[in-house]
Amino acid sequence: MITPEPEQQRIERNVQRAAGIQAIKEIRGIMDEDLREEAARVKLLQAFLRYGWIILLLAAWLLARHFGVI
């Protein structure tokens, strides 16, 4: 037969469980924020790769015009 545990032990176990759940939620929030930042960096890098060559050509054209090549 299973003996019921004392009230104090049950309370301590519930407090530990609640603290663990809260810690997991905080860690999850930190990880979600990190994932959002990483996704933003990837999106910015993709934009640079997609449109960066246009800016590079424009800069080369402006330099050539400035030095009288064109």
Tens digit of pLDDT for each residue in 13-64?
Answer: 999 999 999 999 999 999 999 999 999 999 999 998 999 889 999 999 999 9
pLDDT the model gives residue 69: 85
Is 2 within a domain? no
- What six digits make up the tokens of 14? 């519930």
C-alpha–C-alpha distance, residues 58 and 64, integer Å:
10
pLDDT the model gives residue 1: 52
| Domain hosting residue 36, numbered range | 7-70
- Return left, alpha or beta for 6; rule: phi > 0 is left, psi -120 to 50 is alpha, else beta: beta
C-alpha–C-alpha distance, residues 24 and 18, integer Å:
10
C-alpha closest to that of 53 among 43, 63, 64, 61: 61
Is 1 within a domain? no
pLDDT the model gives residue 67: 93
Domain count, the chain: 1
Is 26 within a domain? yes
Q: Where does the pLDDT of residue 2 fall: very low under 50, low under 70, confident under 90, or very high at 90 and above?
A: low
| Cα separations in angstroms, 12 against 3, 5, 18 | 17, 11, 10
pTM metric for this prediction: 0.58
